[in-house]
Chain A
Amino acid sequence: MSLVVEFLSGIRRFVLAQNGEELRKWLLVENEVPEHYFRLKAELKSSFPDNGSDALEKLVDRCLPEEDDVADGKGSPWPGFNALMKVYLEYWRDVDFNNLINLHASLSDLLISCANALANPTYGAMLLQTSMSFSESLSKLVMGLTRKPELIAQIQGGMAGDESGERKSIVELAADVIQKIFTSCLTDRSSNRWSPPKGKKVAVYLFANLTLKLLFACDKSRLAVQMFTNLSTSGPALSLYPASQRVTFLYYLGRFNFDYGHYLRAHLCFEAAYRQCPPRFQKHRRQILTFWIPSNLLLGRFPSLNLLQRPEAAGFHDIFFPICAAVRAGNFVAFSQALAHSKEWLWNRGLYLTLLYRLKPLVWRSFSRKVFLLTWQGENPDGTQSKKMAALSIDHLVTAATYVQKLLEGYVPLKPAPRARPPHINTIFMKAVTNSVSDAESDSLLAPPPGGPRALMPSEGLIFGNKRPDHDNIESILAGLIYGGVLNGFIARQLGLFAVEGARKAGGNPVLAGWPNAYQSIRERFNEEYEEAAAAYNSGESADPPGEVDDVPGWVQKMG
């Protein structure tokens, strides 16, 4: 008997027994296989050459006839399965593991065929394991290919665009097929959303995670939107699935929300992922922390020493502590130094620009707070409490910001640091030194560096590159902070002041009143947004109910 027939007879036995695990073990696609797969290949080449004949199809149908009477718990070949087997045999006949372009094409065809066969509502489920292994092989190949632009160009060049002329990337195409399998699992009717999964539903999150892994490895996370939407609409509760699948899914959902600037949702996902991941999985916990800590920084919370001392956080203290210290001090120079210090690590994880731009408001908050502490005179000269409204002069803030901008541009102190100045220095001599610099700069403690101020990149300057902060810049920054809820008060434009509100309520402490706790005010801002959305829904202005304030779309938690 020919090897092909023998092979198909073996397959038939597993199909009749609905043995998905054996099917996977037999339907191998990678090159490290027992030698008889290569004998099978040789036989296919000689007996069924690629010449347009339908002999192979006929052989498959002869070896895998549809069963008439199928007992309970038994299976039968179905047309989609036979189509898959034909593609599978063609795959082995034609495959050349040294030709990645052809390998990619045939493996894609094979997975599409498998997805079609899996869609069969009666017997499709026996192909779950095989679908998983094909999907993994294709993902792996695609991830490898994305690091080889010259091959990608060849593959994409050979592909026809769709009707709109738009070409999908190979990552997108592979993700599409895996998502098709995911959808098959999602729509399986063997169990509902809120009961333990049965049938193909058991694999919903396995395929979701596989798709997410592929998309994130190739920087295409935005393509996950549709999947999260489908899960929100009809996905089974995540809590019904094994812990490793839950943790993996929540990690990627957190990354997704982080990438799209929703740090509260990102935090909720990472928190749940971290807390469900036992300490023995240190690498996984570390990977979660890598993004969980930045999510919290952006929400106004710093990692505690307790957290930074955990084994999975090794080395994180050096990265995050200087950043936190700079935010705390409102020190822009230290802030840019702290980020520069860990630039490569942060950049490789997509964190550098996010922290640079999104943490700046918190540095401004601390900076304005510091200038207020330095300039506000809450007491009358006789020591009694001033009745004046607590306020920060915008001009003072401009002066302080200009000073910082000069530091960023490399300006140097005109004279030794004030504290180091011995008291007996001749003031006339000091005056002479001061007068020796150009008039334009003589009002400052700083002088331009030899060779002139450093040219700053847009992101390196306080406002934009070498732009000197002016009244309007500072006023708009304050307005932004007030709108974001991290400053409490209003801008009195005529007076050129930021006026603190609620000092009396805060026990007469204008600092506490004007600069409320950063984390709490950011959370409060989320609540306000939620209440606005709820009000819009209740008044009929918006068609969509906002859900709960801590809902994360795509994370199916409770009965809707």
Chain B
Amino acid sequence: MNEEIVVEATNVAKSYKEVTALKDFSLRVSRGQRCVLLGPNGAGKSTFLNLVLGVLRVDRGSIAIFGETPGHLSVRRRTGAMLQISGIPSTLTVREHLRLFRTYYQDPVPTDELIRIARLEGLDRRTFGSLSGGQQQRLNFALALCGNPQLVVLDEPSTSHDVEARMALWDEVDQFTGTERTLLLATHNLQEAERLGDRILIFHDGQVIADASPEKLRSLIGTTEISAQTNVSVEAFERYKQVKRIEHVDSHLRLYVTEAEPVVSLLLQLDPDLKNLAVKPASLQDAYLHLLSPARINEHTLANV
């Protein structure tokens, strides 16, 4: 088994009674990759993470982590997980929780180092119950790092964080994972995905419908978004190959283009009185919504974006 491959899932299928969570799912994640799992609720992201952590077993296919069965002791020693949990014992202090979790590992990160990484300085003698939601999440993050893991699994880590705390957490995850550790992150926050992921996996209905870098996903619908209030006919833009996607609702026109200048020029020629003209780079959110739009899903052509 090649040590460079951290996660290898082959034709994995998983169902809960009549509900199919994953269908014939294959994925290979190399060391140092930062994979972000996006998708609507029930798309299969959490099921996949639970399979990786050995909490669930596959119905069909196979999955290997560091070449071992998920849940194997050697895998658990090299994996740190931050799960969506509603609470941990509330009467223990931050330091007591960290001390306890450190005993599980053979070569743990020092307690003070964990407190520093998770920005819990000054809170280490506070009980979990007295922390704010964001601070509690930071402690959960610190617990995930106790064993100095090679594979970091984070399930919606920035829930309950305010904007500032969220950005700080992204910095911490970024610094800790560096280039050597592998990250699997499930989130609904597209900013988070863009900030931390170098590989985005979009799940839909138990399958991965897109697997590419954030840049490549953005380029899928054009690199620039042009928007304006105008009543111009959209047919004029349909023959332009630079125009990848057109949205026209009421008088609000939105064009996703690979080259903005000729399209803006045409738009101004067709309607010199247009209002609120704006030109900006297309976001991952635009790509995400485009990929998950019903029309696009029905094309069945997205498996290899």
Q: Do A and B come from one complex?
A: no
Q: Which residues of A contact B (CB under 8 A)?
A: none
Q: Which residues of B contact A (CB under 8 A)?
A: none
